[in-house]
Amino acid sequence: MSQTPNPTACVLIIGDEILSGRTQDLNLKFLAERLGSLGIPVREARVVPDVEAKIVDALNTCRKEYTYVFTTGGIGPTHDDITTPCVAKAFGRKVIRHPDVEKKLRAYYGERTNEARLRMAEVPDGDGVSLIENLISVAPGYRIENVFVLAGVPSVARAMFEAIAPSLQGGPPVYSQSVDGHVREGDIAARLAEIQAEHPAVAVGSYPFMRHDKLGTSIVARGTDKDSIAVVIGKVAETMRKLGAEPVLGPAP
């Protein structure tokens, strides 16, 4: 019997500050790990500038290709926070001010309430839109069909994700294990190709490193079956020993 493929995810990181290097993204690592643990592997990630056409195009492309799309950034109070108008345009919707969110924002900010802060109450109109609770601050994220719009601030994005995690339909969890050795990629590449062919259900990745002025390679095996991962890691470790390196295994999945 063939196994039903796992659902897939894409992460869109929105903001010029990421592309300029001024801000370092921390959300992709968190989302990839958490989604993987839910059996929803991230198959693509994009960093998109604060340009309407780029955001709309990325949304329309990725929401058709992947089960879920998660955006981070661009839902704050400033002029360059344009994610919501772009999401609305991608879905052919209008932007409205959600009355319940506006009420909460006015209560939270009191005399400091202004039009800029009330922009955080804006969502696309129509069916299929639901709020994502924000336990860190008042302004929520939202879901529209298979797109989840999260904040860019890592602590807030994580809180929003945990609020929606129980509603996501996942598959078998994706596990991983690594094995490191002071061998060069070129020396182990042929055997890695053979191991990958022998175990097509396990993704085998190769990542060179430099430690103590010595070149080495970290091999990572990822898949949904722990036993298969263990076999792959064992074969890689054996290959490293034959090449004169002492393999260092990462924690078992």
Clarify whether residues 185 and 116 are in a common domain. Answer: no
Is 137 among the domain residues?
yes
| DSSP type of residue 92 | T
Clarify whether residues 38 and 145 are in a common domain. Answer: yes
Clarify whether residues 85 and 109 are in a common domain. Answer: yes
Q: Look up the domain containing 29 and give its range.
A: 9-167
Name residues whose C-beta falls within 8 Å of residue 186's C-beta, 6 or more positions apart in sequence.
none
What does the pLDDT read at residue 2? 41
What does the pLDDT read at residue 236? 97
| Closest of 11, 43, 242 to residue 147, by C-alpha | 11
Last residue of a domain, one of 151, 167, 183: 167
Beta bridge partners of 220: 178, 205
Clarify whether residues 195 and 159 are in a common domain. Answer: no
Clarify whether residues 24 and 145 are in a common domain. Answer: yes
Clarify whether residues 141 and 185 are in a common domain. Answer: no
pLDDT in tens, 123-159: 999 998 999 999 898 899 999 999 999 999 999 999 9
Clarify whether residues 54 and 122 are in a common domain. Answer: yes
CATH number at residue 215: 3.30.70.260
Is 153 among the domain residues?
yes
CA dihedral of residues 154, 156, 158, 163 (deg, nearest 10):
-170
What does the pLDDT read at residue 19? 94
What does the pLDDT read at residue 253? 86
Longest dimension (CA), the chain: 71
Clarify whether residues 94 and 212 are in a common domain. Answer: no
> What's the total number of domains in the chain?
2
Is 3 among the domain residues?
no
What does the pLDDT read at residue 3? 53
CATH number at residue 150: 3.40.980.10
Residue 247: how many other CB atoms lie within 10 Å = 20
Clarify whether residues 126 and 208 are in a common domain. Answer: no
pLDDT in tens, 15-72: 999 999 999 999 999 999 999 999 999 999 999 999 999 999 999 999 999 999 999 9
Clarify whether residues 195 and 236 are in a common domain. Answer: yes
Task: Decide: pTM greater than 0.95.
Answer: no
What does the pLDDT read at residue 1? 34
Clarify whether residues 43 and 94 are in a common domain. Answer: yes
Asked if 192 and 219 touch (Cβ cutoff 8 Å), the reply is: yes
pLDDT in tens, 178-226: 999 999 999 999 999 999 999 999 999 999 999 988 999 999 999 999 9
